[in-house]
Amino acid sequence: MKRKKDSQPGNTIPAGYTLDYISGKQIKETKKELVRQRVVRALIHEYGFSPEDMELDFKLGGRNKVDVAIFHHGKEHMLENMGRAVICRPEPNVGKNATRIRDYEQAAKDLDSIESIMRQVDSIKYGLWTNGLEFFFLEKEQKRFETKCNPIGDWPMAEESIGTKDVISEAHTRVADNEMLKITFRRCHNYIHGNEGMPKDAAFWQFLYLIFCKMHDENLRTKQRQAWKRRFWAGPKEQFEAEGQQAIRKRIEELFNEVKHQYSNIFRGNEEITLSDRALAFIVSELAKYDFTRTDVDAKGVAYQELVGVNLRGDRGQYFTPRGVVKLVIEMLDPKENEILLDPACGTGGFLVATLGHMLKKFRKEQDTQPGNEDATEFLNVHERLKEYAAKNVYGADFDPFLIRAAQMNMVLAGDGRGHIYNINSLEFPLGHLADLANAKKEIPLGSVDIIATNPPFGSNIPITDKHILEQYELAHNWESDGEGGFRHTGLLKKSVSPEVLFIERCIKWLKPGMGRLGIVLPDGVLGNPAAEYIRWWIMRETQVLASVDLPVESFIAEANVNILTSLLFLRRKTDEEKRAEALGGNEEYPVFMAVANKVGFDRRGNKLYKRTPDGEEIVEPKTYVERLRIGGRFVERPLTRSEKIEDNDLPVIAAKYREFLEKHDGRKPAKKKKASRTKAQVRKKVAAK
C-alpha cells in the first residue's frame, strides 16, 4: 500500500497504519505490531522505562534483530548498553475462548529465539518472549562454562534487578495498564480452566477467591501502615520450585481463612482453594505484581467484566450492559455524595462499580489531585471517603445468588469494603422469601431511593405469571382508552406480563417522590409499539421525562449477543401534589433532552471503530499522560504526549450535551413560564414513531 500524504500533517493516519508509542511515527498495523505496541505501553507505564531508552527492530548484526531493545537510562543505543530484549509474535486467534497456557518447557522451541539473543549479547540481563497472551520472562545467569537463561515470574522495574531488594515480599507493585490487566485476568482464568481441567464456572470462582485474598492483603496495608507485612506475593523463582509453591500456598490459605471470616455475608465458610500448587503459584505471581487499590476503577471493571461475561451469562434474559452504556447512564444521573443509589437487577454490579468510579473522580477533583500523583495521605483520604460513600449509599439486588456473589466481589475489587447487595426478587419486593429480604425492607423500603440505574431482564419469552406478584402492579392489569387521550384501569389482571414492564413500575415506586431519578435500559417496543401506549401514558402520569437516548443495535450485540434495539429512558418521580395539580389543571409543557447514538466505539463483531476523514484516513489527536520513570531507585514524573486515534463513540458526546442541556434548563423540575423545547404530546409522537 502506498502511503498518502496527510491532508493535515500529524492529524490523520492512513488506514492500515498505527502510531508507534515510542517514537510517535506511523507504522504498518499488523497483528504482531498490535502485540508489540501493547507491550511497549506496559513497559513505559507499568515498569517505568523511558521511551528514549527504547528502540524497535534493533539490529544485532547480520539478520538478527530484537523487536524491542531497552537500553540503560540515558545511554547511547549500542549493544554494550542494551540491558533487556523483547521478542513479539502475533496473538493466537482464540477470541474470548479459554486456551491452554504453556509452561517454559512446553514453549522451549519458541524461547530459543530470545535465548540465543541473550547469549549472543553479553550486556543483556533480561529477556521476554510474548504472543500477547503468553509471557515468558527470562534472567541470564553467566556460569563459568555455560550461560543459562532461567525462567522468572516477572521483570524487575526499570533500572532494578531481582537482587535489588533485600526482602522480596517488599518488591515494588505497580499500577496496571488497562489492556495488560485485562490480559492478566484472561491468562489466570485460562490457566485454571485449560491447565487444571476445571469447568469455566469453577475456574472463575477459584480465580475470584484469590482476587479476594489480594484485596484483603492490600486493605490491611491501609489499616496497619507500618506494621503491615505483605503476604500476597510470589518470589521471582518461587513458582518454579516445589518448596516455593508450598510456601506460597501457606501464605494464601492463611489469607483466605481471614477473608472467609471477614466477609461472612459472602462466604459460607466451607469454600476451599482447590488449585494445584503449580496453578496457585502461577496465579499469585501474576496478580501480586499489581497494586489493585491504586489501579483505575474502570480498568479493574473492564477486566472483571470480560471474565464475567464468559462465565455467568444466564438464561433468563440476563446479559451484561456494555460499559459505555453504563458510564453514560451514571454520568447523566450524576449521583451526589448524599444520595442513595440502587440497581434492583444488578447482575454483577456494573452500574454500582461505575458509580464508585464516578464518585472517585469527583472526590479527586475536589481534592485537586490526579491518579498517579497523589501522596499517601491524599490517596487514603479519597479512598476512605469512597468506602464510606459505598457503605452508606450504594445498594444492589438480584434474584440470582451466583450473580450476587459476583457483584459483591466486583464491588470489593472496586474499593467497597461493605457491599449492600441483596439476594431478593425485586419484582416481588417487599414480599418474598429470599435470604436478604428483611435487611432490604429495613434499608431500602419503597419510596426511599434517590437514584435507580438499571438494565432489567426483558423479553416476552420470560414472562411473569405469578399472580401474587402481578397483583402488586397497576401495569399488570388491563387498561382501556378513556376517549380523551388517556387510559383507565379496568381492574382485570393479565395472566402474564413481560418483566421490563413491571420493572418500570417497581423502579418508579422505589424512588423518593419529587427528586428521585431513574435511568433504565428498555427495549424499543415499550416506547414505540401501539399496544404499549397505556404504559407510556402511565409513565408520563407518574413521572417527568428527563431524557431519552436511542442506542444502536451494536450496543449489545457485540458483548451480549443480543440483537435488539434499545433506548435509555431517564425519569423523575412526581409527588402526589404534582399529580393532583396536573389532574385538575392539565399538564405543563417542559423541555426533554433527546439524543440518538449512531456509534458506540465498536462494530457488531466488537472491532474498535475510530473517527475517519471523508477519504477514509483515521483522525488522531495528542493525549498527555503522566509518565513515571524509574531512575536511580526512585520515580520521576514528567508528561508524555502521544497522538492517538479517536474512538468513534457518540456516548461521551451525549453525556456532555446533556450537561449543557441541564445548565440551560432545570432538568429535574417542570419549567415554569418557558417555551418548551418538547411537549408531552411531542414526546408521545416521537416514541410512537420509533
Q: Which of 473, 567, 579, 490 is nearest to 529 (CA)?
A: 567
Q: What is the pTM of this model?
A: 0.86
Q: What is the DSSP letter of 155?
A: P
Cα distances (angstroms) measured from residue 547 to each of 245, 450, 525, 541, 660: 56, 17, 17, 16, 13
> In the block, which residue shows the cell 427528586?
515
Q: What is the DSSP letter of 612?
A: B
Residues 152/237, Cβ–Cβ less than 8 Å:
yes
Whose cell is 449509599? That residue is 393
Whole-number pLDDT of residue 522? 94
The closest alpha carbon to 385, from 408, 406, 409, 365, belongs to: 365
| Residue 129 amino acid letter | W
Q: Cβ of 676: how many Cβ atoms within 10 Å?
A: 15
Give the N- to C-terminal CA distance of the chain in Å, as an integer: 43
Q: Sheet containing 618-631: give its strands across.
A: 12-13, 618-631, 634-645
Residue 85: what residue type?
A
* Under 8 Å between Cβ of 516 and 572: yes
Nearest to 187, CA basis, from 176, 178, 175, 195: 195
User: What's the confidence (pLDDT) of residue 159?
Assistant: 80
Q: Cα 63 to the chain's mean position, in Å? A: 43
Residue 629 to residue 620: CA distance in whole angstroms: 25
Give the pLDDT score at 460. 66
pLDDT of residue 177: 82
* Sign of the four-CA dihedral 241, 244, 249, 250: positive
CA distance 331 to 549: 13
Helix axes 200-224, 401-414, angle to 10 degrees: 40
Record the cell numbers describing residue 660, joined without a space: 449543557
Other Cβ atoms closer than 10 A to 57: 11
User: What count of Cα atoms within 13 Å lies in the side-chain half-sphere of residue 674?
Assistant: 15
- Write down the residue that cell numbers 549500542 correspond to: 78
Q: Kindly calculate the radius of gyration of the chain based on its CA atoms and give it in whole angstroms.
A: 28
Does residue 357 contact residue 390 with C-beta atoms inside 8 Å? no
In this prediction, the residues of the chain whose per-residue pLDDT falls under 70 are 1-10, 95-98, 162-172, 224-226, 309-319, 372-373, 416-419, 460, 558-561, 632-633, 666-690
What is the pLDDT at residue 638?
79
Give every CB contact of residue 687 below 8 A, 6+ residues apart in sequence.
527, 528, 536, 548
- 3-state helix, strand, coil split of the chain in percent (to 5) is 40, 20, 40
pLDDT reported for residue 172: 61
Q: Assess contact for 114 and 152: CB atoms under 8 A.
A: no
pLDDT for the residue 4: 41
The set of cell numbers assigned to 146 is 555455560
Task: Give the pLDDT of residue 465.
Answer: 94
Question: Taking CA 593 as the corner, what is the angle to CA 590 and CA 596, rounded to the nearest 5 degrees?
Answer: 150
Cell of 399: 434474584
Nearest to 190 by CA among 104, 93, 98: 98
Q: Are 559 and 584 in contact (CB under 8 A)?
A: no
Sheet holding 54-61, edge to edge: 54-61, 64-71, 82-88, 126-130, 135-142, 147-152
